[in-house]
Each structure stands twice: as structure tokens, then as C-alpha cells.
Structure 1
Amino acid sequence: MTRCITWLHNISLEQKLINDMDKDTMARIIAITNQKGGVGKTTTCVNLAASLAATNRKVLLIDFDPQGNATMGSGVDKHALELSSYHLLLEDVPVEQLIVDAEAAGYHLLPGNSDLTAAEVQLMQVEARETRLQQRIAPVRDKYDYVLIDCPPSLNMLTLNALTAADAVFIPIQCEYYALEGLSALVETIEQIREAINPDLEIEGLLRTMYDARNNLANEVSEQLLEHFGDKVYRTIIPRNVRLAEAPSFGAPIIKYDRTSRGAIAYLALAGELLRREHEREQPETVENDDACSDASSSH
């Protein structure tokens, strides 16, 4: 990853220019990442996409992980793909031809599979390699409300592309012993990318996943996250849930597999919190007035 950061400082001014389209008409791009595997990253990407789509938002999920689990979890067979996100990066196939309708999941999908394993090496030969994803998805950005990117569980060139293209980063975290150690490295990388190439990149939030309130260590790590990151830690907590773990094997998001399960309720709540936070950022005066009215009402 050190090499990736070094490359950032060699990017030309032209590659740093932000598309001058009206941002109100463009999708908000959120990279969902954590270099530690097994933290619920793909589960969060698939189920947040489905939950946002359930609120009538137009959503595109980009599977950027060579494991292709987000593709399978969306009901698309990664083994049967003729075109994938690999071709987005390294071939001249229009992005519109790569997007499939994951009808059962409720959103559009730019699928991925093991072909992406070779992409990092081949990207070394590509000019402006760090901004490849940003450039290639630009033609469809105005067609969606949200674009979610499922990043690989490592800080490599694929993840760098995702963070360069993104407006924000969402970080799923399992509340365990090494959680904070890995998080500090990721936050440092995000800061370096912000300074070098993507000044608008922000941390949308941290999400506690696979949470078991009976576990003392989980509670301790949760408290440490709140202490270090404050409001960046989402109130919504994703619990350990059997139905949530089963859903990917049926190629369906949890709200399609079992909408009444604790996992489904949690991810619907997560989508609601994301939308509420975004609304509060866009209209802070309205929120402050609402809070003032609430305080006044409670005093009577």
C-alpha cells in the first residue's frame, strides 16, 4: 500500500479535476471497506443496497472484491459472467454494458469475480491507474441516488481506486480485540488519499457488526469506538443473526429472504439512519429548529 500512496503524489492536475456536473443530480458514492476480512463488509454492502432500494432510491452496487461474494449474494452467478468489473478497469467496454439488473435484490449490479485478481498487476501498466474507476463510472453517476462499492479486504490498488472515486467511506467493524489496531491504519490511508487526490473524501461512519451484547469484550470495544470516534459511530448495530448468515447462500439480501428477522430490521434501520444523517448535513438549520421545538415542547 505504501507504493500506492507514493503513486498518488504523481497524479497530474488534470486527473484531480472534479466533474463539474451538478452534484445534486449525481449519485453519492460510498466505498464500504475494511482491510480485515470477516467483519461483515460484503454483508453490509449487499443489505444496505437492498434496504436503500426499498426506500425507492436507485442503487448501483459495484463488486470490486475478487471473491465475488457480493455478486453471488445479489443472486447473480459469478462463475457465469462474461463481463465484470475487471472489464470496467482494463477493457474499453462501456459501463452501461457491464451493469446487470439484480432484480431479486432490487438494485443494479456491476458484478465481480476472480478476474479481478489480475487487475491490480495489469493496472500497473495503465496511465492514471488510480482514477480508473472514477473515470469509467462517470457516465452513469447521474442515473443513481447511491453507488456502493464492495472493496476487497486489503489496502491494494483496487481499494485505492474505490477510495479515489468515493465521496465517503463506510467502515464495518466487528467489536473484537484487534478491531482498533486495523482501523487506525485504514483511517491513516483515508487521510493520505484525502490530502493527495480526493479532498472531499470523508468517513461516513463506523458500523458495529456481528454484535453480541452478552460478550464483555464486544461491549468494551464498542465503548472504545464511541470514545475515539463519537458521532461517526452509527447508532444502528448489526446483531449476530442466523437468518442473516443464511441469506447469501440463497442469493438474496436479508430483507428479501426474511424481512421480519433481526438482521433485516437492523439493515433497514441502517438505511434509515444513513438517509437521516445525510438530510441533517444538507439542511442543518431545519434540524436545529426541529431540535429547538422539541426542547421547548419537553419543557411544558
Structure 2
Amino acid sequence: MKIISVINLKGGVAKTTTAVSLAELLAEGDRRRKRKGSRVLLFDNDKQGNTSRMFGVYNGEREAEACRIIKTGRITGNIRDTKEENLDIVPCNYFMELAELEIKADKEHAQHDRYKSALHEVSGQYDYCIIDNPPDLGMNVINAMVATHEIIIPVRLDAYSLDGLEELVEQINQIRALNPKARIGGVLITDFEKSDTSEAAERWLRTKSGCHVFQCKIRHSKKAKDATFYRQTPTHYSVRSGAAQDYKAFTEEYVQKFGHLAAEERR
């Protein structure tokens, strides 16, 4: 099972939309390209629970499954089904704050590898695990990074996001001491609107950032924003929208470049 973390320390860069779109499209497959659907586990690691809400499994009244996993290091009994074929989910909610406090107080057991141990239990059941992370570096994100094989960084082309990218890469390199296998798969440009400024920022990102940047860009789309109000992915809400088509192209680019490694990561 290949474990992919979608992360950026800045909010509003389409982390959740990227995570759920990638998970959904990997699970669906692509008949035109003769790519079969993969078995995908979508792991909501953000206490806001937007990924969980999108698939109708959010419950704010009790401790969510992701919270139990980080406390116990066990995943059995903490995976929920979705209505999508080949796609299961681990929900999250605001109880994650209490779970993090609890494990920080646990001085007898390792705090950073709970997700790694848990996901190892189901490594033969899925081809991919996509982790949607919050815009911070709490204990739950550190656990995700320690378990991760590959990191995808969604970025908007503004100064704040580009500054945050440098800081994130630095933090990732520090975490690599705990997980040398973690690598940055690439930066994904989101909410792209063509202008002289955005094109200059893109050139800098591709030539000066030191990170691989995916060729596909996710165009700015009102439909993508509207989709969030209906708790749907762009491809479900409006498959013909620019954002939906771009996420399809991005998924295929990802599979072409990295997808063949999924079998290797299952070993």
C-alpha cells in the first residue's frame, strides 16, 4: 500500500479537494486509458472533518475513528465504508485535540508512529492510502509524515503560499530523520488564474523552488467552490468543469509518474 499525504501549512490551497479528488479518481479508474480502479483508503486527519462531511460520515458527538487510531495505534474496526466503489474512509472530528493531548501525556510509549503501526495492519487490503492533513504540524500530522511514502503539496500562486512552501519543505526534511523513506512527490498548482503575476510565480516555482512541480495545474473554477457547499468533489458536482477535468489529468499524470511504485510499496 502506498501512503500519500496531502499537506500544506497554509489553509485555503485546496488540500481537501485535492485529497478527495485523487482518492476518488484512483478508486474509479479510467476506462479510456484502460486503468482499473484501485483499492483506496481515504484517511481524514483534519479535526475540521471536511473530508468526512463530504462522504456523509462526520459525527461531532463522539470520538471519531482517526482519534481512536492515534491513541491506540490500531486501525481494526475504525474504517468506514463509502458509497463509492473501492473507496473506504477513516473519519475525523474535533475530538482529535483531546486525543493529541492524551498521547503527549503518554511517556511510556512512542508517540510518533501510531499511524504507521495501524496502517501496516491493512497494507495488503489497499493499493493507496490518501491522508488529508490540516495546515499545522501537530502530533497527528507528525504521525502521518512518519507513515507516509510520498507527499503532495497543493500551492496557490501567491506570496504567502510560496513562503509557506519553503518552511514546509524545511519541516519535512527534519521529519525525514524519523522516516527516511518519505519523499516529496511534487507540488500541485491549484486555483490557477492566468495573469502576468501568476505566470511569473509559476516560472519561479518550476525553476527556483527545488521541488518537482506537476505539469497539470488546477484552474480556478466557480464550480469547484460551489461543490464544497453540496459536500461533493468537483468531478461529482460538475464533471465538465475545468477543475474536474484538471483533477482527472493530474491523477493520470500522477499514475504515469508514480503509480507503478504502488506495488513496490506494498512489499
After TM superposition, the score normalised by the length of structure 1 is 0.79
Question: Which residue is equivalent to 1:32?
Answer: 6
**Distance (whole Å) between structure 1 residues aligned to residue 222 and residue 59 of structure 2:** 24
The residue identity in structure 1 corresponding to 2:196 is N
Change beyond 3 A, Cα 1:256–1:105? farther
Q: 1:84: how far off?
A: 1.9
Question: Which residue is equivalent to 1:122?
Answer: 102
The residue identity in structure 2 corresponding to 1:200 is K
**1:228 is aligned to 2:208:** yes
- Return the match for 2:47 from 57, 66, 69: 66
**1:207 is aligned to 2:181:** no
Equivalent runs, 1:98-109 vs 2, <5 Å: 98-104=78-84, 107-109=87-89
Question: Which residue is equivalent to 2:32?
Answer: none
**1:43 is aligned to 2:24:** no
**Distance (whole Å) between structure 1 residues aligned to residue 261 and residue 131 of structure 2:** 22
Q: 1:63: how far off?
A: 0.5
The residue identity in structure 2 corresponding to 1:97 is G
**Distance (whole Å) between structure 2 residues aligned to residue 103 and residue 142 of structure 1:** 22
**Distance (whole Å) between structure 1 residues aligned to residue 197 and residue 62 of structure 2:** 42
- Return the match for 1:157 from 116, 133, 139: 139
Question: Which residue is equivalent to 1:247?
Answer: 227
**Distance (whole Å) between structure 2 residues aligned to residue 28 and residue 85 of structure 1:** 19
SS in 2 for 1:128: coil
SS in 1 for 2:112: helix
Query: Any idea what the Cα deviations from partners look like across 1:69-112, whole Å, max 9, x if unmatched?
Result: 111122333436664200111147x5231111121486211011
Question: Which residue is equivalent to 2:127?
Answer: 145
Larger Rg belongs to: 1
Q: 1:197: how far off?
A: 1.4
The residue identity in structure 2 corresponding to 1:107 is L
The answer to whether the Cα contact below 8 Å between 1:174 and 1:209 also exists between their aligned partners in 2 is yes
The answer to whether the Cα contact below 8 Å between 2:68 and 2:99 also exists between their aligned partners in 1 is no
- Return the match for 2:178 from 197, 210, 217: 197
Question: Which residue is equivalent to 2:245?
Answer: 265
Question: Which residue is equivalent to 2:169?
Answer: 187
**Distance (whole Å) between structure 2 residues aligned to residue 155 and residue 63 of structure 1:** 15
**Distance (whole Å) between structure 1 residues aligned to residue 189 and residue 85 of structure 2:** 23
The residue identity in structure 2 corresponding to 1:35 is L
Q: 1:172: how far off?
A: 0.3
The answer to whether the Cα contact below 8 Å between 2:58 and 2:93 also exists between their aligned partners in 1 is no
Q: 1:155: how far off?
A: 1.6
Q: Which sits farther off after the overlay, 249-258 or 97-106?
A: 97-106
- Return the match for 1:132 from 114, 123, 126: 114
Q: 1:189: how far off?
A: 1.2
Change beyond 3 A, Cα 1:53–1:170? same
Q: 1:125: how far off?
A: 2.4
Question: Which residue is equivalent to 1:76?
Answer: 57
Query: Any idea what the Cα deviations from partners look like across 1:235-286, whole Å, max 9, x if unmatched?
Result: 110111111112222222222222121111111111101100015779xxxx
After TM superposition, the score normalised by the length of structure 2 is 0.88
**Distance (whole Å) between structure 1 residues aligned to residue 186 and residue 83 of structure 2:** 28
Q: How many aligned residue pairs are there? A: 253
Q: Which sits farther off after the overlay, 113-122 or 157-166?
A: 113-122
RMSD of aligned residue pairs (Cα, Å): 2.0
Q: Which sits farther off after the overlay, 108-117 or 73-82?
A: 73-82
- Return the match for 1:256 from 232, 236, 256: 236
SS in 2 for 1:238: strand
Change beyond 3 A, Cα 1:235–1:261? same
**Distance (whole Å) between structure 1 residues aligned to residue 123 and residue 62 of structure 2:** 23
SS in 2 for 1:179: helix
The residue identity in structure 2 corresponding to 1:46 is V
